[in-house]
Chain A
Amino acid sequence: MKKFVAVLLVTLMLFGVVVVSAESPLAGKTMTLSLLGIGGWKPSSLAQEMGQELFALYAKENLGYDVNVTFAESPFDSLFQKAATSLASESNEYNLIISDSQWLGALSEPGWIVPLNDVIAANPSLQVNWYSESASKAYMIYPDGSNNIWGLPQEADVLIMYVRSDYLTNPDERSAFAEKYGWELPTDGSNEAWEDIDFAKYAQICEFFTRPDEGIYGTTIQYSKIYDFLTGSLYPYFWSAGEEVWDAAARTVSGTLNTPKNAEMLALSKSMIQYCPPGAIDVDISGIVENYSTGKAVTAWQWAAQGADMVIDGVDTWGVILPGYRMEDGTVNRTSSLGGQPWVINAFNTEDEQQLVVDFLNWWYSYDTQIEFAKRGGSPLITEVLESEGFEDLQPWFTAYKYMMKDGNSKDFWHEPSYAELLAIQQEAWSAYMAGSDGSVETAQTVLDEIAALQDKVISK
């Protein structure tokens, strides 16, 4: 019996060694992994930076092949065109694409990207315990409610607020503010300190710090007409007030977007322009960085992914949760816009390229890689990473990021193949409203009615 057990153990050990040392099908080859991502966007460039620096080393040592990671980029508003035109020609020019969550429908319907259910089933490293179910579904699933997985979160993101702590902790400012408004400014950047800040209180903070004569303004928010910039900063008003932007089940917009409450919120959003530095309605992501980093704005609504650019030397900054809407029961409800981008795999990759991409993703979702990603300013979505000790200390905005990423605290736009038309309609209409001199709720209602009617036409096609 002992002999049998010994033979069995030796056999198992040998089998184990063979399995462990099984070489990658790519062993001995020199490969190029071509990434396509967003230009000027830290989390996208980190993928290439870390890939070239760390994955290349990993592949060489553990998988036995050389890899060169290249990166093509395009601005937010033209990335889809760049990806779609390449994929439409069945090109494998980009092996792994950093997409946007709204694009899953548009990219998957024509068969341009690889369905990932089987890939995930075959690769335990990709069977990740995601921190937020709603966010992970937004990055991965199309259509909503199905189990069809098309993407994996490259980086998660959410709109948060950056605050100049030197202004808010200044004793003179604090006493002057308390005297004027009858309540104390938040004492630190913790979630608890900001949980009671609703839109009304936030407007008072902005009003207090708006001093054009000194070149200082209360806030800076994206109102730009480009891509989804204005939409991204407007939706938190709607969602926090408990409203929606369309009825996904009934596939209608009218009656959901154009509610009186949303009209009120749209007008409220416009009213905040008075507390922004001049040129507010042209401000995009980089404009926020510029306004904040040059000391023109005391607070800024910005994506967590831009944290590395917002938190700069010499400027004391808190990354805090967004203000919210005070409900009838007195609680403050806050729902932010979900940002972030999923990876999608080009369906026209060669067999070797598909293997390379899977190897890369297996490496990308390892704990060490994700911690390194976070240390460099990226935003992971893996529970083990976000719940790990010291995670919130890695970056000044991670406490707010983690809070806003919780299920229910952030939402994504529509996941419709026609998202581009839906977006273009409302960006144009809202931009015109923001630029106009009439900021009344009645006009806001008319604008929402028009948008709803046009979007219903697009969706019903």
Chain B
Amino acid sequence: MRPDLLTHTVQNNMPIRKAGKLQDFFADNNRFILVLLLPVVLFFLVLNALPTMWMVGMSFRDYSLISATKTAEFIGLDNFVYLLSSNSVWNSLSKTFTFVFFGVLIETVIGVLLGFLFWHSTEMTGRRLALTLLFSPMILAPIAAANYFKLMLSPNFGVINYIISLFNNGKPIEILSSVDYAFWACLFVDIWMWTPFMLLMTLAALGSVPKAELEAADVDRLTWPQKFKHIILPHGKFIMMLGILLRTIDSFKTMDLVWGMTTGGPGNSTELLGIGLYRVAFSSLNLGRASAYALITLLIAVAFTSIFLFILNRKNIEEGLSK
């Protein structure tokens, strides 16, 4: 209840209570809103903004966990120069973009296809069970899924490799130890985990399509591609874009899944940005350079988000222009 309402009387004959200082303070609606926002703002400042600012400052300094009492010397852009001239970082960037591109693309395609399969299929036998099973990978902890697949892919006792060996003259394939296969195995598990998310978003997008318009399209005998282009896509595309945006950001920061499966190896064939950053911070213990690494990663993530937000907001912009 708003504080100014506290001073109202409920019966005509009752005297109006005199407002206290606190009530006077809250009488201003804007002030009240600010006070309500204060905990969130404080939370954001203490746990988000300040550490980020600290990280930005640290990225220009030479600071290692093993020289904790030494002065963190200001070294300008040295950390950035080192990172941007490092083959290892460019390799991680390349791997990450490949991982994001193929991961999100395949998850979206399969998710959309499955979404259409389950759309308007309330009569389908076993629909609920199928959807529950399909969604289950998404709710697993990535590290658990990683270990699960690591064991199944083991060339010594993994069930997947056992099946492979049946078709390969009894020889298993060293999938996670191979520079040729390890990356794609990690990508496969990511797709296995997150395709259900895109299925969920597709179902939400399709649910937002007005039934009346679809019925009208049926009456007008529109073909399926026409229905898709003129009715389904305009209504569903923003939810789908939101899904793709969320998956892109999430995929970009993948770390635990790949760490659990290969720890970035063999060699550096699965070393995504998150793993590279972890190594600089917690293997090399160079926190200055790790901060620069994190800042570069953050800027790329912000760029991604901006592009997607621009696309998402395009509808409003277009509507604004047409008015």
Please list the residues of chain A having a beta carbon within 8 angstroms of any beta carbon in chain B: 77-78, 80-81, 84-85, 88, 105-106, 109-112, 212-213, 224-227, 277-282, 291, 294, 296, 417-421, 423-424, 427-428, 431-437, 461
Residue from A81, A109, A213, A428 in contact with B268 in the complex, judged by beta carbons closer than 8 Å = A428
Residue of B nearest to A278 (CB): B155
For the complex of A and B, the 9 pairs showing the least CB-CB separation, nearest first, are A432-B267, A435-B266, A278-B155, A106-B66, A435-B267, A110-B69, A424-B283, A424-B284, A421-B284
Question: Does B174 contact A81, Cβ atoms closer than 8 Å?
Answer: no
Residues of chain B contacted by A226 (CB below 8 angstroms): 263
Interface residues on B, range: 20 to 34
- Which residues 256-274 of B sit at the A interface, judged by CB distance below 8 A? 262-269
Q: Which residues of A contact B70 (CB under 8 A)?
A: 109-110
* Cα distance, A297 to B155, chains bound together (Å): 15
CA gap between A212 and B168 in the complex, in Å: 14
Q: Which of B68, B154, B171, B286 has the most CB of A within 10 A?
A: B68
* Alpha-carbon separation in the docked complex, A436 to B178 (Å): 8
Distance in Å: Cβ of B290 to nearest Cβ of chain A: 12
Does the CB pair A279–B156 fall under 8 Å? Answer: yes
27 contacts between A and B (CB under 8 A): A81-B282, A81-B285, A88-B65, A106-B66, A109-B66, A109-B67, A110-B68, A112-B68, A224-B263, A225-B264, A225-B265, A278-B156, A278-B174, A281-B266, A282-B262, A294-B156, A417-B67, A420-B283, A420-B284, A423-B283, A428-B267, A428-B279, A431-B265, A432-B269, A434-B267, A435-B178, A461-B62
Q: State whether A88 and B155 are in contact (beta carbons under 8 Å apart), knowing that A432-B268, A436-B179 are contacts in the complex.
A: no
Decide: A84 near B265, CB < 8 A? Known: A282-B176, A421-B284, A428-B88: no
B265 x A281 contact (CB < 8 A): yes
How far is B154's CA from A88's CA once the two chains are assembled, in angstroms? 40
A84 and B284: CB pair below 8 A? Answer: no
Given A282-B262, A435-B177, 14 additional A-B pairs, CB 8 A: A81-B285, A84-B66, A110-B69, A212-B171, A279-B156, A279-B174, A281-B266, A282-B265, A418-B64, A420-B65, A428-B88, A428-B267, A431-B265, A432-B269
Interface of B is mostly: loop
- Which residues, 6 to 41 on B, are CB-close (under 8 Å) to A? none
Closest chain B residue to A81, Cβ basis: B282
- Could you say which residues of chain B place their CB within 8 Å of the CB of A109? 66-67, 69-70
Contact: A279 with B264, CB < 8 Å?
no
Q: Are B285 and A80 in contact (CB under 8 A)?
A: yes
- A111/B268 in contact, CB under 8 A: no
Chain B contacts for A437, CB-based, 8 A? 179
Q: Are B285 and A421 in contact (CB under 8 A)?
A: yes
Q: In whole angstroms, how far apart are the Cα atoms of A213 and B156 in the complex?
A: 13
Closest to B153 in A: A279
Tell me if B115 counts as interface (CB < 8 A to partner A): no
Mask, B166-197, CB within 8 Å of A = 1, is 00001110101111000000000000000000
Q: How far is the CA of A84 from the CA of B279 in the complex (A)?
A: 16
A110 to chain B, nearest CB (A): 4
Shortest B156–chain A CB gap in Å is: 6
| Residue among A213, A418, A427 with most chain B CB within 10 A | A418
Does B265 contact A435, Cβ atoms closer than 8 Å?
Answer: yes
- Are A420 and B172 in contact (CB-based, < 8 A)? no
Q: A417 CA to B268 CA in the complex, in Å? A: 25
Most chain A CB neighbours (cut-off 10 Å) among B62, B66, B282 = B66
In the bound complex, CA of A155 to CA of B204 (Å):
60
Partner of B65, one of A81, A291, A424, A433: A81
A431–B279 Cα distance when bound, in Å, is 14
Min CB distance B6 to A, Å, is 46
A431 touches B267 (CB 8 A): yes
Distance between Cα atoms of A104 and B62 in the complex (Å): 21
Determine if A435 and B66 form an interchain contact, defined as CB atoms under 8 angstroms apart. no
Residue of B nearest to A418 (CB): B66
Q: A296 vs B154: C-alpha distance in the bound complex, in angstroms?
A: 14
Taking a contact as CB atoms under 8 Å apart, the answer to whether B267 and A436 are in contact is yes
Q: Which of B69, B263, B285 has a CB less than 8 Å from the CB of A225?
A: B263
Residue of B nearest to A294 (CB): B156
